[in-house]
Amino acid sequence: MTRVLIADDHQMFVDGLKSLLIEEKEVCVVGEAKNGYEVIEICDREHVDIVIMDINMPLMDGIQASRELSKKHPAVKILGLSMYNDRDYISDILKAGARGYVLKNTGKESLLDAIATLQSGSNYLSDDVSKTLLSGFMKKGADQMMEKLSDREREVLDCIASGLTTYEIGDKLFISKNTVETHRKNLLYKLKARNTAELVNNAYKQRLIQ
């Protein structure tokens, strides 16, 4: 009997999954969580085999929750879940300790498959997902290796997105506007953007803001 915890902030989805999993004889739902904190809390006091972890959750999201959970309860297997077939999402949660990933737009079969596979000790990635991951690695080698931003650059990026001008940013961060210009230039280079508009756009796409 696999003991499953469902973590998703959409109660209706949770209700649906529960009713779906109850039909399965070798699975039982031992709890549900609406955010990362509740996941940790429940795993602290309940025996849980698998957490079905949605990525987008309030307060603490699925990525952060996976990080903390795999530290605190390494035996608990995490199955990442989201609606996005997005390379960053997938790799982020896998890095954070998840052992599988399924998309919400696949049917219940793949979910049951994933649960069984994880419970047996293996990892599970659906075809779509592994394709995305692979294409990501290919790209990484080829055209774009997404460079990391420094703390200061991230700070400047936030200011830019808020609509502040170079001068105002310098004022706010107590540095010269020339320095801000340099940071701005480096941001444009690192995010491969041609101007602020594309910069903010790419920052959103790479989840550097919000």
Partner DNA sequence: TAATCCCTCACTGAAAACAGTGATTTGACC
Partner DNA sequence: GGTCAAATCACTGTTTTCAGTGAGGGATTA
> Residues interacting with its own copies, by CB under 8 A?
9-13, 15-20, 23, 83, 102-108, 111, 160-163, 165, 193-201, 204-205, 209-210
Q: What is d(CA 176, CA 162) in angstroms, rounded to the nearest whole number?
A: 19
Q: Per-residue string for binding with DNA, 97-136, x by CB under 7 A?
A: ----------------------------------------
Alpha-carbon gap, residue 179 to 154, rounded angstroms: 14
* DSSP output for 92-129: HHHHTT-SEEEETTS-HHHHHHHHHHHHTT--EE-HHH
Partner from DNA, its own copies, none contacting 19, C-beta within 5 to 8 A by type = its own copies
How far is Cα 209 from Cα 203, in angstroms, rounded to an integer? 6
Q: To the nearest whole angstrom, how small is the minimum distance from the Cβ of residue 25 to DNA?
A: 46
Q: Toward DNA, which CB reaches closer, 112 or 188? A: 188
Q: Write the CB contacts of 5 (distance below 8 Å, at least 6 apart in sequence).
A: 29, 30, 31, 32, 33, 39, 42, 43, 46, 48, 50, 51, 52
Residue 12, contacted partner among DNA, its own copies, none, CB below 5-8 A by kind:
its own copies
Residue 67 near DNA by CB under 7 A: no
Residues from 151 through 180 that contact DNA (CB under 7 A):
151-153, 160, 165-167, 170, 173, 175-176, 178-179
Buried b / exposed e along 132-151 (16+ C-beta atoms within 10 A): bbeeeeeeeeeeeeeeebee
3-state helix, strand, coil in the chain (%, to 5): 55, 15, 30
Contact flag: residue 182 with DNA (CB under 7 A): yes
- Contact between 82 and 56 (Cβ < 8 Å): yes
Q: Please say which residue, 73 or 152, places its beta carbon nearer to DNA.
A: 152
Beta bridge pairs of residue 82? 103
Q: 29 or 63: whose CB is closer to its own copies?
A: 29
Which of DNA, its own copies, none does residue 150 bind to, with CB < 5 to 8 Å depending on kind? DNA
Confirm or reject binding of residue 77 to DNA (CB under 7 A). no
Q: Kindly tell me which residue out of 36, 183, 191, 208 binds DNA, with binding defined by CB under 7 A.
A: 183
- Residue 71 vs 148, nearer CB to DNA: 148
Q: In this complex, which beta carbon is closest to its own copies, that of residue 104 or of residue 152? A: 104
